[in-house]
């Protein structure tokens, strides 16, 4: 997986250090490591590493993400999401590949079918469920 002039897609070219907080929209190319705090939206065709002291509260569209710190929000990864042993994720993940190490925390939903639309998702939650008497009943799945 080489790109351009010999640079790896995952090469870290940006760093948000510990003690730094950014609020707003962030976009970057290549790879980025976050040891500080980001609140807002993050978009990239590259990779993102959340270090052990990193905290991101955002909606993310990324190729790869590796989580050692804490994430809150929505992750849309085109390639993979990795939650390492000390990583914590509170939110929803949309990715074709999810890796969760032993000891990691994940509270949320994961959708590994990238092609599902919001309308299909709604239709899926309103489905017929057979009852013990051979009849079907309409039900709606809701989360609180």
Both ends of the chain: CA-CA distance in Å? 42
Written in H, E and C, the secondary structure of 49-107 is EECCCCEEEEEEEEEEEEECCEEEEEEEEEEEEEECCCCEEEEEEECCCEEECCCCEEE
Residue 17 DSSP symbol? -
Query: Among 57-66, 73-82, 85-94, 115-124, where is mean pLDDT lowest?
Result: 115-124
Which pLDDT value is given to residue 73? 97
Q: Note every long-range contact of 69-72, with CB atoms under 8 Å and residues 24 or more positions apart, other chains counting.
A: 69/34, 69/35
Which pLDDT value is given to residue 114? 53
Q: Distance (Å, rounded) from C-alpha 79 to C-alpha 38?
A: 22
Which pLDDT value is given to residue 113? 78
pLDDT digits (tens, 9 = 90+) for 112-129: 875 544 554 455 444 444
Q: Distance (Å, rounded) from C-alpha 91 to C-alpha 55?
A: 13
Which pLDDT value is given to residue 13? 84
Which pLDDT value is given to residue 12? 83
Q: How far is CA 75 from CA 81, 89, 98, in A?
A: 8, 10, 11
Question: What backbone torsions phi and psi does residue 86 show, to the nearest 5 degrees?
Answer: -95, 5
pLDDT digits (tens, 9 = 90+) for 1-31: 334 444 466 788 889 999 999 999 999 988 9
* Residue 134 C-beta-side C-alpha neighbours within 13 Å: 0
pTM to 2 decimal places: 0.73
């Amino acid at each position: 997986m080489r790109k351009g002039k010999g640079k790896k897609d995952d090469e870290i070219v940006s760093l948000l250090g510990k003690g730094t907080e950014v609020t707003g929209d962030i976009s970057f190319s290549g790879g980025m490591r976050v040891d500080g705090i980001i609140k807002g939206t993050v978009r990239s065709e590259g990779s993102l590493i959340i270090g052990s002291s990193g905290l991101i509260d955002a909606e993310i569209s990324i190729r790869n993400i590796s989580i050692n710190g804490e994430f809150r929000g929505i992750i849309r990864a085109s390639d993979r999401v990795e939650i390492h042993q000390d990583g914590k994720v509170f939110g929803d993940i949309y990715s074709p590949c999810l890796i969760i190490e032993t000891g990691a925390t994940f509270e949320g939903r994961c959708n590994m079918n990238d092609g599902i639309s919001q309308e299909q998702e709604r239709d899926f939650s309103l489905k017929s469920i057979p009852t013990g008497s051979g009849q079907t009943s309409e039900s709606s799945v809701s989360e609180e």
